[in-house]
Structure 1
Amino acid sequence: MTDSDDDLRDWLILLRLPGFSARRLREGLVARGSPSALLRWLARHLDVLDDEGRAWIERPDEATLAHDLAWLAGADQRMLRCTEEDFPPQLEAVPDPPAALFVKGDAALLLRPQVAIVGARRAQEPGLANARRFAAELASAGLLVTSGMADGVDGAAHMAALDAGQPTVAVIATGPDRVYPRKHHALARRIAEQGAIVSEYPPGVPALAHQFPQRNRIIAGLSLGVVVVEAGLRSGSLITARHAGEQGREVFALPGSIHNPLAEGCHALIGDGARLVQRPEEVLAALAPAAMELGAELRARLEGGGGAERSVKPKKGPFDWRQDEEYRRLLDVMGYDPASLDALVGTTGLSPGALSSMLLILELEGEIAALPGNRYQRVIR
C-alpha cells in the first residue's frame, strides 16, 4: 500500500460512494485485493449499486476529490486505512468497523490504551468538576482520555487532560476539517496540536444527526472502558455505553442525587450492571489488566508484522514484562533522567505505538512516572 495520489484517490472514491457501507468496502477489498481492483470490478458490475452510486462511479466529483487530497497534503493530516499495520486493532470488535479514519494530529496515539469519558452536554457544575477530575487523574496515570468534543462533559474531559500535560483524542461526527460545536475551535486546535482529532467522515462533511450515534461506536471501540459522568435517560452517552457493553468493554457510571435528572441515565446503567465508581483509581484498577494485555498485543502486532483485518485477541495467561528482554533494555536506556517519547523512539528504535504501550505497562507497574510534556522518568526504588 503506497501513499500515491492515485491510491488515495481510489480510496476517497470508495469512501464517498453513496450506499456503499464500510462493511461492503472492507469485504470488497478482501475479495478484490486493492482499491483500484475493486473500482474496476464495480465499474463492470454497476447493477450492485443504486442510481446515485452508479452515477458516482461513472463520474466522481473531481472538485470534491481534489479538496480531499488537498486536506490530506496538510501537515499532520492523514487517512489511516484498515489495510495499514497501525490501524487500531481495537476497532475490529466494533460490529461495523470503519474502513478508514481521517486523523488530524498524532495517529500513533490511537494505539495507546484509552478510556472514554462521556456525559451530558448540559452537565451541571458538579458533573463538570467530576469529568475534569477523572480525566486529569486517569490521563496522568497513563490512560489516554478519549471523548467526542461535544459541549459539557466531553469538552471538560478533553481540556482537563490537556491541562494535565497529556494528549487526548477527540472522535468527531463531522469531517475532520469541521468543528462542532463552533465554540470549540480553540479546543480543537489544542487537541490537534497535542493529541488527535479523528473522524470516519471525509473533509467537508457537515454535522448530521444520524452521524453522532455512529461516531459513538468508534469512541467505545477505541477504549478499554467508558466512564459516564452525567446522563439523562435519553442521552447519547447511553448509546456509547451500550456500544461499549456490546463490544465487551467495561462500563463505569458515577452515581448522583436521586433528584437530579442528569443522574437518571447513570443510575439506569448501574441497574443494568455497570460498575458504580466514585474515584478515578477505581477505574484505573479495573482497566489495568486489560491495558497491559492490549499493550503487549499491540507491541507484538507492530513489531511482528501481519496483514489487514487483524483483531486484538486475548492471550493465554497473564503477560509478565519482567520476562521480556525489550522491557529490561528500555529501562536501561531510560536511566533516571526525564526523557521524551521522541527521544526514546530514537534511542530504542521502537515505533511510537509500541513504545507507548510498553511505557504504559511500566507506569501501571510503578516502574516509571509520566511527566508533563509527554515525558517519562524511572522511579527510584
Structure 2
Amino acid sequence: MSLYLTVGYPKAELSSCDSESNLKYWLWLQGLKHLSSHKKRELLQAYGSPEKIFQLSPEQMGIAAATLSEGYGRGFDALRQKQLVRSEWMVQECLAQDIGILTWSDYRYRSMVRGYSLAPLLLFYRGTLANPIRPVVNLVADPLEQEQAISQIPRVCSYYRERGYVIATGLTFGCGSRMIEKVIEHADTLMTFCSGGLDRCYPLDSYRVLERIVEKGALVSAHALKVVPSTQRNLERDRLLGNWCDETVVLGRPDSIKASRSIRYAFEVGRGVYKAEDLERIDQNSAVAETSLTIGSAPIGSDDAALGSFLYELLRHVPMTTSDVADSLHIEEGHALRLLMDMELCGSIEGFSDGRWQVRQSASTGM
C-alpha cells in the first residue's frame, strides 16, 4: 500500500506577483535540465522574466547559451526545450490541490535567501505565508534527544513569540513527531519545511499534524507534486532553512548529528546560533562550534577509504548510530553499516548495546 494519501487544506492563493499564465513559464524554467539554479538566475537578471527567456529566438538563445559556464551546447539544448504541457498541468494541479506557488520575484521570497547559490526558483506551500519582514527563528534538535528538547520548547517559543518571530522547523516524523506537536502547540506563527511533495500526506498517520501546521501558518517545500522525502532532500531542506532563518536555536545537545548540520549551515551564511538551555549565542570559535563544523562537513561522493577516515574523526567527537552515520556521510544505511563493521574488525571502533558506535579508547589514546 502506498505511503501517500491525498489531503486537502484551506485554499492557497496564487502568488500576488505572478498570474496563472506567468507561473507556467516559471515552472518551465525551473524544470530545465543541465542548467544550475545559479545560471537560471543569471538568465533572469539578463532577460527579466521566464516568459522572455522562453520567447528567445534561436539566435538569441545562442547568445545566451554562450554566456553559460555549463557549456554552449548544453545551455543551447536546455533553452531549446519549448514544451509547456507539463508546466500547464502542474499549475492546474497546484490550483486544484490548494498548493500555492512562491516565485523568486515574489516579495514574500525573503531577500536574504537570494544570495544562496542553490536556492530554488520556486517554493510551494499550503496555508498562509508570514510577512517576510518578520524575523524567523529555526528550531533544530536530534529526534533521539526529544525528551530534553520537548522540555525546552515552551520557554523558547514564548521568548521568540513575544519578540514577534515566526517559528520555523523542519518536518520530522517517527521519533520526532512529539517535538513537532509541541512546537505547534506553543508557536504563534509557524513555517514548517518538508522535503517531499505537498500533494500527498507522508506518512499516513501525519494528516492531523499537517492540518495543525497549516492552521498556524504554512507548510513549505521545494517540491510540489509526487516527490518522496529522502536523505538527500532532507539535507537540501535543512540548508534552505539555515538560509531562510535569521537565527537558529539548538534544542537538546548541540553536538548531535542533526543539530551539527544545522549549526554548520547557519554559520556558513553568518546567522546567529543559540543554545536553548540559556539562549546564549554559540561562538563560532568555541569547542561546540568546532565539533559541529566537523560533523557537518562530511565529504560527498568520496571512496570508502576517504569516508572511513572522515568517519573515524566523527566518532572521536561523538558516538553515533548507523542511521546517524548514513545521514552524516550522505550514504545508504547498508553502506554505512559495512563501513562500521570493517572498522570494528580492524579494532578502531566498537559498538554498544544502545546501537551507537564510538572510537575504541585504546585506539583513540594511541593515535
What is the TM-score normalised by the length of structure 1?
0.59
Q: Secondary structure at the match of 1:169?
A: strand
Task: Specify the alignment match of 2:47 in structure 1.
Answer: 32
Matches within 5 A, 1:124-203: 124-151=146-173, 155-156=177-178, 158-164=180-186, 166-203=188-225
Q: Secondary structure at the match of 2:143?
A: coil
Superposed CA deviations along residues 94-129 of structure 1, whole A, max 9, x for unmatched, are 343332221211123444211110111233422322
- Structure 2, unpaired ranges of 5+: 1-15, 66-70, 291-367
Q: CA–CA distance in 2 between the matches of 1:185 and 1:56?
A: 40
- 1:22 equivalent in alignment to 2:37: yes
Q: Secondary structure at the match of 2:145?
A: coil
Task: Specify the alignment match of 2:287 in structure 1.
Answer: 271
Quick one: which of 77, 96, 100 aligns to 2:118?
96
Say if 2:249 and 2:273, in contact at 8 Å, map to a contact too.
yes
Letter in 1 for 2:102: L
Task: Specify the alignment match of 2:143 in structure 1.
Answer: 121
How many Å apart are 1:33 and its aligned residue? 1.6
Letter in 1 for 2:25: D
Say if 2:113 and 2:244, in contact at 8 Å, map to a contact too.
yes
Q: CA–CA distance in 2 between the matches of 1:54 and 1:111?
A: 40
How many Å apart are 1:31 and its aligned residue? 0.9
Task: Specify the alignment match of 1:211 in structure 2.
Answer: 233
Q: CA–CA distance in 1 between the matches of 2:126 and 2:57?
A: 31
Quick one: which of 70, 78, 100 aligns to 2:92?
70
Q: CA–CA distance in 1 between the matches of 2:175 and 2:137?
A: 14
- 1:84 equivalent in alignment to 2:106: yes
Say if 2:197 and 2:224, in contact at 8 Å, map to a contact too.
yes
Q: Secondary structure at the match of 2:126?
A: strand
Q: Secondary structure at the match of 2:55?
A: helix
Say if 1:94 and 1:217, in contact at 8 Å, map to a contact too.
no
How many Å apart are 1:169 and its aligned residue? 0.4
How many Å apart are 1:70 and its aligned residue? 2.1
Task: Specify the alignment match of 2:252 in structure 1.
Answer: 230
Distance 1:194 1:241, change over 3 A: same
Say if 2:20 and 2:91, in contact at 8 Å, map to a contact too.
yes
How many Å apart are 1:172 and its aligned residue? 1.4
Matches within 5 A, 1:349-368: none
Moved more, 247-256 or 3-12: 247-256
Distance 1:203 1:118, change over 3 A: same
Q: CA–CA distance in 2 between the matches of 1:109 and 1:156?
A: 27
Task: Specify the alignment match of 1:7 in structure 2.
Answer: 22
Larger Cα-atom Rg: 2
Q: CA–CA distance in 2 between the matches of 1:78 and 1:194?
A: 16
Aligned length: 263
Say if 1:229 and 1:254, in contact at 8 Å, map to a contact too.
yes
Superposed CA deviations along residues 328-376 of structure 1, whole A, max 9, x for unmatched, are xxxxxxxxxxxxxxxxxxxxxxxxxxxxxxxxxxxxxxxxxxxxxxxxx
Superposed CA deviations along residues 54-105 of structure 1, whole A, max 9, x for unmatched, are 489536473x434421243258632111212232112134343332221211
Distance 1:267 1:244, change over 3 A: closer
How many Å apart are 1:152 and its aligned residue? 6.9
Distance 1:71 1:107, change over 3 A: farther
Q: CA–CA distance in 2 between the matches of 1:189 and 1:69?
A: 22
Root mean square deviation, CA, Å? 3.5
What is the TM-score normalised by the length of structure 2?
0.61
Letter in 2 for 1:58: Q
Q: CA–CA distance in 2 between the matches of 1:14 and 1:215?
A: 21
How many Å apart are 1:192 and its aligned residue? 1.5
Letter in 1 for 2:287: G
Q: CA–CA distance in 2 between the matches of 1:42 and 1:213?
A: 38
How many Å apart are 1:234 and its aligned residue? 6.6
Task: Specify the alignment match of 1:311 in structure 2.
Answer: none
How many Å apart are 1:230 and its aligned residue? 3.3
Task: Specify the alignment match of 2:274 in structure 1.
Answer: 252
Say if 1:116 and 1:225, in contact at 8 Å, map to a contact too.
yes
Task: Specify the alignment match of 2:293 in structure 1.
Answer: none
Q: Secondary structure at the match of 2:237?
A: helix
- Structure 1, unpaired ranges of 5+: 257-265, 275-381
Distance 1:35 1:66, change over 3 A: closer
Taking only the aligned residue pairs, the percentage that are identical comes to: 21
How many Å apart are 1:269 and its aligned residue? 9.2
